[in-house]
Amino acid sequence: MTYADGPLFLHLLYNEAVRQRPPAWKAWLSRELGRAERLAVLGVGNVARGDDAAGVRAAEALARRTGAARLAVFVTEEAPENFTGAVRAFAPSHVLVLDAASVGYPPGTVFPVAPLAVPDEDVSTHRTPLSTLAEYFERTVGCRVLVLGIEPKAFNPGAPLSAPVRRAVGEVASYLAGLAGRRLRSSSASGRRCSGSSPRPRA
């Protein structure tokens, strides 16, 4: 997606009330992943554009911090569509996408994103729209798709993550590692394991 000088990120519609009060993302994740049996995490972003690398760096940090048997981390960068086969083979009950998302919060704010709120036309040709990706996984894998956004500060080419986004990346990775350690540690799951023939879950 292009904005200003052309950095890639999610540009989402929002209302003033939501912008002023970010949702409690930890409580949201805990609730949404409370019944997760197998979790696939996708780190999306452009590592050459400053804070647009937030999702990628969070996924990389998560992969270093956890070895949970029922968690798979995919560092997809700008092409999550290239990992659909690997995600389907893992057969997750839930997919969590990590990405930079700009809605006007202070830089480094972490918040849940509704995949269908991202207009298809607002996405770069180098990235499949998240709405399309979410619908594909829900239809073919039967899993629930969640998106966690990190508010960026800058997209300077070749720049590292800004300080607030770097802190957010660490916080997201640490929280997810702890959550996975508590809930996805064992190699077996008591409930249904999703497969390609599974029905699409209800919202």
In the chain, the domains with their CATH numbers are 22-181 (3.40.50.1450)
Selected residue with higher pLDDT from 140 and 12: 140
Per-residue model confidence as pLDDT tens digits over 160-202: 999 999 999 999 999 999 999 888 876 555 444 443 333 333 3
Phi-psi region of 145 (alpha: psi -120 to 50; beta: other; left: phi over 0): beta
pLDDT band at 117 (very low <50, low <70, confident <90, very high): low
Phi, psi of 69 (to 5 degrees): -65, -30
- Angle at which helices 163-183 and 25-32 cross, to 10°: 30
The whole model's pTM is what?
0.80
Mean pLDDT of the chain: 79
Per-residue model confidence as pLDDT tens digits over 90-103: 999 999 999 998 88
